[in-house]
Amino acid sequence: MKFGLRYASLGRYANGPAALELAQAAEAAGFDSIWTVEHVVVPHGYQSRYPYSETGRMGAGLEDFPIPDPLIWLAYIAAATRSLKLGTAILILPQRNPVVTAKAVATLDHLAGGRRVLLGIGVGWLAEEFASLGIPFEDRGPRTDEYVAAMRALWSQERASFAGRFVSFRDVFCRPLPAGGRIPIIVGGDTRAAARRAGRLGDGYFPARGGSVELLDEMRRAAVAAGRDPADIEITVSAPTDPAEIEALARQGVARVAVPVSSAAGLPAQVKTPDDVLRYGKDVIARFR
């Protein structure tokens, strides 16, 4: 079992020195990865329903909560770590220009030493945020699928070309290329659409919460329908509060559990400080690694 540290860029860890201390503790404790979150803006008084709480809201006081840009935050901590994988959970892909994003992600991976970035993506839920960015909300699903294909072309082709509904380019060089010509793409989300997208095109699947048997089965069926081996899709889920449940998750095919370091995104923090992270490594990670 692999262990990730999630919501790592929120709260006190939105600040540089604290972020470095947290990331270095995670690496020393045996965590394989550290994961950020994203909102570019949160419009005041939004009416869109937040899908991960009964109230439909992110939580009291979270409209103006600091949420650093995930790629810049990861670049900052990458320089102070050696092997910790750098994950986004998630990057709201349809809000971003895919060519610029492909360049930024490949650059991050290159500067971090290669094979460190895990690009978790999602389609987003906050319609008012899309409106603030001047991007249509309704077509975010097909836009996401096409952006993934376009980025993979830029990462893998010596002289890249792509023609689609939302993005087109021909015979372009996009350097640096990531190691091996690829960045793993992990699809996030607790909906059937997200599970199917992970099965069709994901290198991994990361439900925002526990990852029900129904969603995992939906992902596997979609993979088979697309001619893919479901076993090749790495599954990451939220870490259970009782570590005894980790063995059962492994039997279900889960490869990684993600431990919350902040309660701001709606899950209780299981670790809060670098010292907590180190203790978790000794008490839990050492048992399952």
Q: What is the mean pLDDT of residues 112-136?
A: 98
pLDDT of residue 127: 98
Give the pLDDT of residue 265: 82
How high is the pLDDT of residue 53? Answer: 86
pLDDT at position 262: 93
Q: Please report the pLDDT score of residue 60 as a whole number.
A: 65
Average pLDDT value for the chain: 96
pLDDT of residue 176: 98
What confidence score (pLDDT) does residue 54 get?
86
- The mean pLDDT of 225-247, rounded to a whole number, is 97
Dump pLDDT digits (tens) for 150-182.
Answer: 999 999 999 999 999 999 999 999 999 999 999
- DSSP class per residue in the chain: -EEEEESTTSGGGGSHHHHHHHHHHHHHHT--EEEE---S---TT--SPPTTSTTSSS-TT-TT-----HHHHHHHHHTT-SS-EEEES-EEGGGS-HHHHHHHHHHHHHHTTSS-EEEEEE--S-HHHHHHHT--STTHHHHHHHHHHHHHHHHH-SSEEEE-SS-EEEEE--SSPPGGG---EEEE-SSHHHHHHHHHH-SEEE-SSS--HHHHHHHHHHHHHTT--GGGSEEEEEPPSSGGGHHHHHHTTEEEEEEES-STTSS--S--SHHHHHHHIIIIIHHH-
User: For 205-224, what is the mean pLDDT?
Assistant: 94
pLDDT of residue 172: 98
For residue 244, give the amino acid letter.
A
